[in-house]
Amino acid sequence: TVQKQLEDRLRELSATDGLTLLANRRSFDEALEREWHRATRHGEPVSLIMADIDHFKPYNDHYGHVAGDRCLQQVAAAIAAGVRRDGALVARYGGEELAVILPEVDAAGAGAVAARVVAAVAALQLPHPASEAAPFVTVSVGATGCVPRYQDGGIELIADADAALSQAKAKGCNRYEIKQG
């Protein structure tokens, strides 16, 4: 019915980031909690990747916010294409930070996906003269994974991925780091 179609469309819109067309933060939070609980029950790994566009503020300052939005859309699409895993959720975590939930993937597997993400964004060759990392847009990525042993909803997974991301930034950007969970 028309009513059902409208409800489905509203549900889809409430779960999607309007700019990148990826899952939004609320969808990410719900999916991570769901995957964490599933992995805990089944004794399977779950991994998380966090990616941040390097030196994005200078990009916006140089090109303007409209171009910054277009850049974010292109990076989001490249990351989603670079993930290529069934069951993965790619989401806009906030600002210029994107996250990927990888069910049934360990930290080593997350590292392989992280390498593809870094390469996919670099392959765009979007000019970024204000970057200290490269003459084009790049991302830094933190990856982690574990087999959950307790029901914290994935809070520690987020902290570990964020720590790995910070390490990648500290080592000069345009790279990924893995933190074993």
Decide: 99 and 91 in contact? Cβ < 8 Å: yes
Query: Distance between CA atoms of 49 and 18, rounded to whole angstroms?
Result: 21
Decide: 173 and 133 in contact? Cβ < 8 Å: yes
Nearest to 140 by CA among 178, 104, 109, 89: 178
Decide: 146 and 157 in contact? Cβ < 8 Å: yes
96 is catalytic: yes
Question: Annotated catalytic residue: which of 7, 12, 30, 96?
Answer: 96
Contact partners, residue 64, CB within 8 Å, separation at least 6 = none
Alpha helical stretches, state H, the chain: 2-14, 25-42, 56-63, 65-83, 107-124, 155-170
| Residue 150, CA distances (Å) to 29, 39, 93 in order | 17, 10, 24
Q: Report, as residue numbers or ranges, the catalytic residues.
A: 96
